[in-house]
Structure 1
Amino acid sequence: MSTLSDPVNLSTPRGSDAGLTPKQLADKYGLTVSGRRPTLGRYIKELWARRHFIVAFATARLVAQYSTAKLGQVWQVVTPLLNCVVYYVVFGLILPNKVDNYVVFLCVGVFIFQFIQSAVQAGTRSISDNLGLIRALHFPRASLPIAFTIIQLQQLMISMVVLVGIVLANGLMPGMSWLLVIPTVLLLCLFNTGVALIMARIGAKTSDMAQLMPFILRTWMYLSGVFYSIENNIEKWPTWIQIATDVNPASVYMDLVRFAFDPSAFNRGALPPHVWMVATAWAVGAFLFGFVFFWKSEEKYGRG
């Protein structure tokens, strides 16, 4: 009989288990590798089961984000408004643009690109900044970049109220086209979630990416027509550049919101038919690719 002081070889199977390989033993007793990536279908189910956690986590982080500032949540609106003021002074007064209702044009561009920029930056840091939570609890890691995208969406909803006030103050009255803002924001949110998932995996492996992203996003902003009309400046440029600007997702989503608020600002009061197709393709494509791309490394997040 073995006593507590007797050495016991736990690695050697005994009795009926003798001769079985470790894999056969694991299969026999229903053991699985700790932290192993689940199948894609099961992963989606686990993620859906934690939807309430994702929303609660996003809301809590949003409230805590400005808890130390005296103005608190007001900064969600003040920050993009201050950017609008700076851009208006530079591009509206010093370097005037030939754009009707330029204030509306500018504010829509700033608010929409701010949503894209914040979602991408938050997604890039979502894994590396939450390693303690990842290592302490078991949950689908995609919850984090999705939650941070929801935070940015909540901020956008608050900003949209201010944006509507700016539109009304510039003499643009509500019309049926305003309803187009809803599907546009939904598509944009889907696109942002996909990009956030992509950047979350890259950011988890490359810590320097968080430092590089501001420069990439600033370049993207300058090329997306946030504060100037792209169409008025690329007429003589090579065809391939014009095509690239037409399918630039940031430009596409900004144009859709601008058209919703002010259809008369576009040629013949209508957008080219390909715009909605491009917007949908970017949203669905980015989300599907981003989700699978992130899931592929599920078992590696937080491990070294």
Structure 2
Amino acid sequence: MVSQTAAPAAPPADSPVPTPPPVHAPGELAALAARHGLTTSGARPSLPLYVRQLWGRRHFITAFATAKLTAQYSQAKLGQIWQIMTPLLNATVYYFIFGVLMNTKRDVEDFVPFLVTGVFIWTFTSSSITAGTRAISGNLGLVRALHFPRASLPIALALQQLQQLMFSLAALVAILIGFGQFPRPSWLLAVPALFLQALFNTGVSMVVARLAARTPDIAQLMPFVLRTWMYASGVMWSVDGMLRGDRVPHAVVMALECNPAAVFIDLMRFALIDSFDASHLPPHVWAVATGWALVCGIGGFVYFWQAEERYGRG
């Protein structure tokens, strides 16, 4: 017996025939989306809108920075004491290597306040930049799960380092007083100096955050860059003392005097140390510091914003 397969039943004559969906040109789709208030998911907003979005996330930025600071040493027995101990131990090592063995203290009056101030202020810059290299790559889960201005992350990490510096300044003040540097009106200059440095640090951290988001090897290279930069910034020796005389080429003099890390360190030393007077400062030091802060702060922010839609993808 040969089996027969029943043919599919024909649709009733009065049933509607399905019609294919209409085909729209790309321009028509864009107009349709605009008419219904639809936007591209993850698209980069305009710069003014981006700034307003960041301002709307200001509480998140502050809470994120505080949480990171609290958790940073949560596994250590001494806890938050390491925020002060780390720069102090670095200063102690530098004192014996550079101050005692290499005898750089012979050309520097009040060498211990000079050295400790340099170490604390340099640590603020180096830690901000190091944190910036992990701003995106270290928070990929957050970046991919939530929609928010990505600049919130490097800004929050820079704020975390500023909060940590505030703890460290208590130890710095105690050391300065212990070595005869008592509070005076010039100490108020530390406020604008730290503000300019914080703006500079935030801008640079946003630059390295974008670079490291695309090339993770930047995070491995950055310690070597920062170590070289530290040695050229007069943290352990006097830039002004080395530049005296004609033995240094003019181009090197200009590079060292305009080095932003050295500029911010010198401004803090000028504010806090009696013997570090205006004669130790490079010319137009406040103008140079303001220029670095504005160029890096604004430029770094715009540079980071230009890649907003690419973070967390790929």
Bin of the TM-score, shorter chain as denominator length: over 0.9
Tell me which of 50, 60, 70 is aligned to 2:67. 60
Tell me which of 107, 115, 118 is aligned to 1:106. 115
Q: Following the alignment from structure 1 to structure 2, what is the Cα–Cα distance between the partners of residues 137 and 102?
A: 50
Q: Which residue of 2 aligns with 1:260?
A: 271
Letter of the 1:155 counterpart: Q
Secondary structure at the residue paired with 1:198? helix
Q: Give per-residue Cα distances to partners, 1:157-209, cap 9 Å, x unaligned.
A: 00011000000000112111111111111110000010011111111011100
Q: Is 2:261 the counterpart of 1:250?
A: yes
Query: 1:27 Cα deviation (Å)?
Result: 2.2
Secondary structure at the residue paired with 2:240? coil
State the 4+ residue runs in structure 1 displaced beyond 6 angstroms.
17-20
Greater Rg by CA: 2
Gaps of 5+ in 1: none
Q: Which residue of 2 aligns with 1:295?
A: 305
Q: Which residue of 2 aligns with 1:145?
A: 154
Q: Which residue of 2 aligns with 1:94?
A: 101
Instruction: Mark the CA change 1:18 to 1:118 in structure 2 (over 3 Å): closer, same or farther.
Output: closer
Q: Which residue of 2 aligns with 1:279?
A: 289
Secondary structure at the residue paired with 1:227? coil
Query: 1:8 Cα deviation (Å)?
Result: 8.4
Q: Which residue of 2 aligns with 1:240?
A: 251
Q: Is the 8 A contact 2:240 2:281 kept in 1?
A: no
Tell me which of 164, 170, 182 is aligned to 2:173. 164
Q: Following the alignment from structure 1 to structure 2, what is the Cα–Cα distance between the partners of residues 19 and 232?
A: 67
Instruction: Mark the CA change 1:96 to 1:29 in structure 2 (over 3 Å): closer, same or farther.
Output: same
Q: Say which is worse superposed, 258-267 or 99-108, in terms of deviation.
A: 258-267
Q: How do 1:10-89 and structure 2 match up within 5 A?
A: 12-13=21-22, 21-89=28-96
Q: Following the alignment from structure 2 to structure 1, what is the Cα–Cα distance between the partners of residues 207 and 122?
A: 18
Instruction: Mark the CA change 1:19 to 1:118 in structure 2 (over 3 Å): closer, same or farther.
Output: closer
Q: Following the alignment from structure 1 to structure 2, what is the Cα–Cα distance between the partners of residues 257 and 54?
A: 27
Q: Is the 8 A contact 1:63 1:73 kept in 2?
A: yes
Q: Is the 8 A contact 1:195 1:290 kept in 2?
A: yes
Instruction: Mark the CA change 1:77 to 1:20 in structure 2 (over 3 Å): closer, same or farther.
Output: closer
Q: Which residue of 1 aligns with 2:201?
A: 192
Q: Is the 8 A contact 2:154 2:205 kept in 1?
A: yes
Instruction: Mark the CA change 1:25 to 1:13 in structure 2 (over 3 Å): closer, same or farther.
Output: farther
Q: What is the CA RMSD across the aligned residues, in angstroms?
A: 2.0
Query: 1:124 Cα deviation (Å)?
Result: 1.1
Q: Is the 8 A contact 1:172 1:261 kept in 2?
A: yes
Q: TM-score, normalised by structure 1?
A: 0.93
Letter of the 2:286 counterpart: W
Q: Following the alignment from structure 1 to structure 2, what is the Cα–Cα distance between the partners of residues 296 and 19?
A: 25
Secondary structure at the residue paired with 1:107? helix
Letter of the 1:141 counterpart: R
Q: TM-score, normalised by structure 2?
A: 0.90
Query: 1:298 Cα deviation (Å)?
Result: 0.4
Q: Give per-residue Cα distances to partners, 1:73-121, cap 9 Å, x unaligned.
A: 0001101100001000011111112101100110011001100000001
Instruction: Mark the CA change 1:221 to 1:271 in structure 2 (over 3 Å): closer, same or farther.
Output: closer
Q: Is the 8 A contact 1:191 1:284 kept in 2?
A: yes
Q: Following the alignment from structure 1 to structure 2, what is the Cα–Cα distance between the partners of residues 259 and 170?
A: 16
Letter of the 2:275 counterpart: S
Letter of the 1:91 counterpart: F
Query: 1:20 Cα deviation (Å)?
Result: 7.0
Q: Give per-residue Cα distances to partners, 1:229-276, cap 9 Å, x unaligned.
A: 1222233111011001110000000000001112423365x7455000
Q: Following the alignment from structure 2 to structure 1, what is the Cα–Cα distance between the partners of residues 308 and 221?
A: 24
Q: Is the 8 A contact 1:116 1:192 kept in 2?
A: yes
Query: 1:25 Cα deviation (Å)?
Result: 2.2
Gaps of 5+ in 2: 1-10, 12-16
Paired residue total: 295
Letter of the 1:29 counterpart: H
Percent identical among aligned pairs is 54
Q: Is the 8 A contact 2:132 2:206 kept in 1?
A: yes
Q: Is 2:183 the counterpart of 1:174?
A: yes
